[in-house]
Chains A and B, each alone.
Chain A
Amino acid sequence: MSAPVNARYAIGIDLGTTHSALSYVDLEASDGEKTAHGVLPIPQLSAPGTVEALPLLPSFLYLPHPDEMAPGELALPWNTDGETAVAGEMARSRGATTPIRLVSSAKSWLSHPSVDRRAAILPSDAPEEVTRVSPLEASTRYLQHLRRAWDSAHPEAPFDEQQVTVTIPASFDPGARELTAEAARNAGYTSATLLEEPQAALYSWIQGSGGAWRKQVKAGDIVLVVDVGGGTSDFSLIAILEREGKLEPHRVAVGDHILLGGDNMDLALAHLVARKLAANGTQLDAWQMRALTYGCRGAKEHLLADADATTWPIVVPSRGSKLIGGSIRTELTREEVTSFITDGFFPRVEASARPAVRTRAGLTQIGLPYAQDAAVTKHLSAFLARQAGATAELEGFEGRVAAEHTFLHPSAVLFNGGVFKSNILAQRVMDTINDWLYMEGAEPARMLEGADLDLAVARGAAYYSYARRGGGVRIRGGTARSYYVGVESSMPAIPGMEPPIQALCVAPFGMEEGTELELPGQEFGLVVGEPVTFRFFGSTTRRQDQIGDVLDFWGPDELQEMNEIQATLPADGRTPGDVVQVTLHALATEAGTLELAAVARDGQRWKVEFDVRSAS
């Protein structure tokens, strides 16, 4: 995988849970921090036989019935031979009335650890005759659509020859990162790089400031990025360092994967209003429910933007052609929005608040693992508390973190995601954080102005593609977790107890891209032809562990167990059953993924797979 030499454009792709977008920087017209950039309108079906170029591609895939559409109605500006599924706006609107054929939230499924993400499982509630697709395949389709849109708009600068970045949530584990990279390869992206979304948001802010960002942040600042997208919430901490007289942003921490976003808020409101209507004897069907959700989003946006409005009307149009009389009128009040959204999703809580965790019922349905606590501010307080020592050993930050601080003190906050178009919500988060800071005697944090909430991630990704070619500011930081494999300890076995395990650090925190580390002094015997699985752990807080360190004990919050990883030595050139001594190598790739490899003494290497196919 090498960077394209003749690139004319730096392309950034926001592969979102609910929307995707493509942004670009014209390399020839850009110099230093002055960039010429744009957003590519994406041609997509908005109705059968109707193609519209829209700035966003809804990340939905519709699998139509063979009789559902007249032939020729699925034509796009490029060759669509052999394609039966529809991506984009029409998929979303069709799918609302026929949900059994709609693939949605493929990205959340791609990061769902307990399903086989290469298996055709979506839509999860489709009847048998629908040919399902895998989360990987769905993501591939969106990326492919964006590539073809680019190629049809820019035949003079083929996609393959451009510098391309695809964004992922900062909370994605190595398996989900690897799957995203694989989806990009399957979609024909020859040299795509991955970038964390909160970083992309900061890049976009830096780009948007046109150099003035150096006046808004200073060395020693800690920027908290709060990114609440359509389907996920993502937090990152970025410290501003000064090196050789230049400001250098360092990403020091990322949060957990939280499946909670703006769409959940709209849906929650719609259910609230639907209950209100049901109390008056009006039942809504699935189609009306969708119209209501749409109306609630509009009402929410108005009420959260205008502090003086007390109610906002919502009309659910009739389904039949009798519009008057058949439509249902209702309204959303300020109290409802305040109590449901502002206080429900962004409550003013203490810094010590933690999200509620319910133990899941024994037989959980295989669905998406949505966040159990809807309070974004509680997830935020838990994140800052866990990262209290994130900057302790950072150059220029020594002595700034006092032992009595119960959480890391951010000095600036950057918001991202359409949810924060509402000043009321952004202000609520700011007030809550500043309350926490005040209680510990710290200066209030300030809000970084001028963020572009909808397209920041795509724009930032394009800027990153540009910065990788040496054009602009780069955020440093390396890998955001340290990784461990479980090894059985040499303690004597106690009957009735699982043998205790130790965690062996195989990849330390902050590995810069392009570095490779070898696990010293530890060899594993792998049996040729037989898969060997390891328990696998990650930590977002253990920054000091070096490769080869062995942990006997760790706090329940410190290490998170992930999916098992697996190494298989193919039998080529060796006798099945032989034992080969290998060492483990960790490699932070240029593309932004982590690779573990088993390396034999003769130098032969095999990849350790993060995403093990389930046996079933």
Chain B
Amino acid sequence: MSTPTQLPSFWSRLSLAFGTFFKTIGDAEFAARVRDDQVGPIAAPAPAPVPTPAAAPAPVPVQLREATPDAALQLLTLLQREARLIDFAHENLSAYADADIGAAARVVHEGCARVLKDHFTIAPVRSEAEGSRVTLEEGFDASSVRLTGNVVGKAPFKGTLSHRGWKATDVRLPQLAKEHDASVLAPAEVEL
């Protein structure tokens, strides 16, 4: 049971008491909660809204996906394990000479490359050489090609390829045990 972090003062308690008095009289549902819940209405949460949206199949205008943190945490774990990326990012570079940073960067680079190679198949979006002229026909995939600069007129668009783009054609993240706590990115190590 949670304890309210800020206890109300005497005056606000007084107004709360009056408010509750009238609400108990006027709202049968609220009265029932006061009766059943020994704690009273102080900790009363908003009534659970779960059944309501299911009952009303109203059209949802915009649906934003919530990224699952597990996969992101997993990738961080891999990048820390193989490339020490979190260690590296937490360092204050101003304290070190470039030679020291360079040595550490080798660990990070080699490890990152390994993670990318082992867990993803990454291919360029466009196979043409960067700097070459490309033509985008009508109906091109706007999510994989971004137009920049003088974006006017209509397709076909002619332009110069400034970046080939990258596309993950396959993702092979490790499977996790049901009880596994993905938020531990690297366990503390204790040598006995």
Residue numbers of A with Cβ under 8 A of B are 43, 46-53, 70-75, 77, 97, 298, 313, 315, 317, 319, 321-325, 327, 329
Question: In the complex, A480→B90 CA distance in Å?
Answer: 61
Taking the closest CB of chain A, its distance from the CB of B124, in whole angstroms, is 25
Taking the closest CB of chain B, its distance from the CB of A616, in whole angstroms, is 32
23 cross-chain CB contacts under 8 A: A47-B81, A48-B177, A49-B179, A49-B180, A50-B175, A50-B176, A50-B180, A51-B176, A70-B181, A72-B179, A74-B177, A315-B103, A317-B104, A317-B107, A322-B91, A323-B104, A323-B107, A324-B104, A327-B100, A327-B103, A327-B107, A329-B99, A329-B103
A53 CB contacts on chain B under 8 angstroms: 172
A75 CB contacts on chain B under 8 angstroms: 177-178
Contact in complex: A327, B104 (CB < 8 Å): yes
Is B69 part of the contact surface with A, judged by Cβ < 8 Å?
no
Taking the closest CB of chain B, its distance from the CB of A318, in whole angstroms, is 8
Is B88 part of the contact surface with A, judged by Cβ < 8 Å?
yes
Interface residues on B, range: 20 to 34
Contact in complex: B90, A321 (CB < 8 Å): yes
Contact with A along B177-191 (1 / 0, CB 8 A): 111110000000100
Residue from B77, B93, B189 in contact with A324 in the complex, judged by beta carbons closer than 8 Å: B93
Contact in complex: A317, B84 (CB < 8 Å): yes
Contact in complex: A313, B179 (CB < 8 Å): no
Contact A48:B103 (CB < 8 A) given known A323-B84, A324-B93, A324-B96: no
Q: For the A-B complex with A315-B103, A324-B103 known, give 16 more contacts whose Cβ atoms are closer than 8 Å.
A: A47-B81, A49-B176, A49-B181, A51-B175, A70-B179, A77-B175, A298-B110, A313-B103, A315-B106, A315-B107, A323-B104, A323-B107, A324-B104, A325-B95, A325-B100, A327-B104
Taking the closest CB of chain B, its distance from the CB of A314, in whole angstroms, is 9
Contact in complex: A49, B104 (CB < 8 Å): no
Contact in complex: B87, A323 (CB < 8 Å): yes
Contact in complex: A325, B179 (CB < 8 Å): no
Contact with A along B87-129 (1 / 0, CB 8 A): 1101101011001110110111010000000000000000000
Residue from A70, A77, A97, A324 in contact with B100 in the complex, judged by beta carbons closer than 8 Å: A324
Question: In the complex, A319→B191 CA distance in Å?
Answer: 11
A72 CB contacts on chain B under 8 angstroms: 177-180
> Considering residues B93, B100, B110, which has the most beta carbons from chain A within 10 angstroms of its beta carbon?
B100
When C-beta atoms are compared, the residue in chain B nearest to A74 turns out to be B177
> Considering residues B77, B93, B103, B178, which has the most beta carbons from chain A within 10 angstroms of its beta carbon?
B103
B178 CB contacts on chain A under 8 angstroms: 72, 75
When C-beta atoms are compared, the residue in chain B nearest to A77 turns out to be B175
Is B45 part of the contact surface with A, judged by Cβ < 8 Å?
no
Contact in complex: B91, A323 (CB < 8 Å): yes
A51 CB contacts on chain B under 8 angstroms: 174-177
Nearest 9 Cβ contacts at the A-B interface: A49-B180, A72-B179, A329-B103, A49-B177, A75-B177, A323-B87, A52-B174, A51-B175, A324-B104
Contact A73:B177 (CB < 8 A) given known A313-B106, A324-B93, A325-B96: yes
Question: In the complex, A174→B172 CA distance in Å?
Answer: 43
B91 CB contacts on chain A under 8 angstroms: 322-324
B81 CB contacts on chain A under 8 angstroms: 47
When C-beta atoms are compared, the residue in chain B nearest to A53 turns out to be B172
A52 CB contacts on chain B under 8 angstroms: 172, 174-175
B176 CB contacts on chain A under 8 angstroms: 49-51
Question: In the complex, A74→B104 CA distance in Å?
Answer: 32
A50 CB contacts on chain B under 8 angstroms: 74, 77, 174-177, 180
Contact with A along B49-81 (1 / 0, CB 8 A): 000000000000000000000000010010001
Residue from A73, A319, A321 in contact with B180 in the complex, judged by beta carbons closer than 8 Å: A73
> Considering residues B93, B107, B108, B181, which has the most beta carbons from chain A within 10 angstroms of its beta carbon?
B107
When C-beta atoms are compared, the residue in chain A nearest to B93 turns out to be A324
Contact in complex: B174, A46 (CB < 8 Å): yes
A74 CB contacts on chain B under 8 angstroms: 177
Question: In the complex, A75→B179 CA distance in Å?
Answer: 9
Question: In the complex, A47→B91 CA distance in Å?
Answer: 26
